[in-house]
């Protein structure tokens, strides 16, 4: 994908996302956070792509995917006042609907449109479909990693400042000092925990720690270790023995080298 189409998509996104802002900071918090998140995810996904040696076309695709992966969040929050998909609508599916309705991708080659749509559609899925072209699957995996890396930063920043996260970001969960045994069990078994098990902000933090087991690329694991955000989140959790045992499993995973193949055609 050439540079000019990417710049066109960025201008379109800026206009679209800002149309949800009222000008009142107290009312615009959730939308502003998603705009900032999108910008950082674009930076992260391009950084990962460069580290992997992606071509100029593929870097453009990566940036476009980062730009649109949470496109549906703005309309979701306007309609329902929440980012909780289980209480509203699947924001990834809504993102795809908006892309299709607006036709913003119509001038791109069909193969590029397919890659962007698939990556947006499945970036939050519990698992990826096994029937997609190799390049589509690669970008699905790449956006999942970039998204996690920035969500960790958002939560770690709250922890660093000693602040309670934006209610919309933590899906209005309670701040009770409890931790779900099911989420701890998932971490001990080295698998991602289920959103359905969350009952508190601590659970949300633990669930995020479990995402380390779903990182798709060694470059992502290395970046997560360098950023230090998971360690900050972990330090904010209770000193309970079972919680600390789970944290030790996560940090051990973080310090591992990891290995995951890139698509054979990722260099053009």
Using CA atoms, how far apart are residues 204 and 170, in angstroms rounded to an integer?
7
Percent of the chain residues past pLDDT 70, beyond the cut? 94
pLDDT digits (tens, 9 = 90+) for 102-131: 999 999 999 999 999 999 999 999 889 999
CATH class of segment(s) 3-145: mainly alpha
pLDDT digits (tens, 9 = 90+) for 189-230: 999 999 889 888 899 999 999 999 999 999 999 999 999 999
- Residue 185 in tokens: 């069990």
Give long-range contacts, CB 8 A cutoff, 24+ apart: 27-31.
29/166, 29/168, 30/77, 30/83, 30/166, 30/168, 30/169, 31/74, 31/77
Using CA atoms, how far apart are residues 206 and 192, in angstroms rounded to an integer?
10
pLDDT digits (tens, 9 = 90+) for 238-249: 999 999 999 999
Q: Give pLDDT, residue 3.
A: 60
- Residue 136 in tokens: 């589509």
Q: Give pLDDT, residue 175.
A: 79
């Amino acid at each position: 994908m050439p540079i000019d189409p990417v710049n066109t998509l960025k201008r379109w996104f800026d206009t679209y996302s800002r149309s949800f802002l009222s000008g009142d900071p107290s009312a615009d918090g959730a939308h502003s956070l998603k705009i900032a998140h999108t910008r950082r995810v674009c930076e992260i996904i391009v950084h990962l792509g460069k580290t992997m040696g992606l071509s100029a076309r593929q870097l453009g695709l990566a940036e476009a995917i980062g730009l649109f992966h949470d496109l549906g969040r703005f309309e979701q929050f306007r309609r329902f006042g929440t980012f909780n998909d289980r209480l509203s609508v699947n924001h990834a599916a809504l993102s795809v609907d908006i892309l299709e309705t607006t036709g913003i991708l119509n001038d791109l080659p069909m193969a590029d449109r397919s890659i962007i749509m698939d990556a947006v559609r499945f970036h939050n899925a519990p698992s990826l479909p096994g029937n997609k072209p190799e390049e589509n699957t690669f970008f699905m995996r790449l956006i999942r990693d970039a998204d996690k890396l920035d969500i960790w930063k958002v939560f770690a920043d709250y922890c660093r400042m000693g602040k309670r996260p934006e209610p919309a970001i933590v899906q209005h969960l309670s701040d009770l000092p409890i931790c779900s045994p099911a989420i701890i069990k998932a971490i001990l078994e080295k698998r991602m925990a289920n959103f359905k098990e969350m009952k508190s902000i601590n659970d949300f933090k633990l669930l995020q720690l479990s995402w380390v087991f779903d990182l798709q690329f060694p470059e992502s694991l290395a970046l997560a270790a360098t950023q230090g955000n998971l360690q900050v989140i972990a330090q904010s959790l209770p000193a309970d023995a079972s919680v600390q045992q789970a944290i030790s499993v996560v940090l051990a995973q973080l310090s591992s080298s990891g290995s995951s193949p890139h698509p054979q055609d990722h260099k053009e």
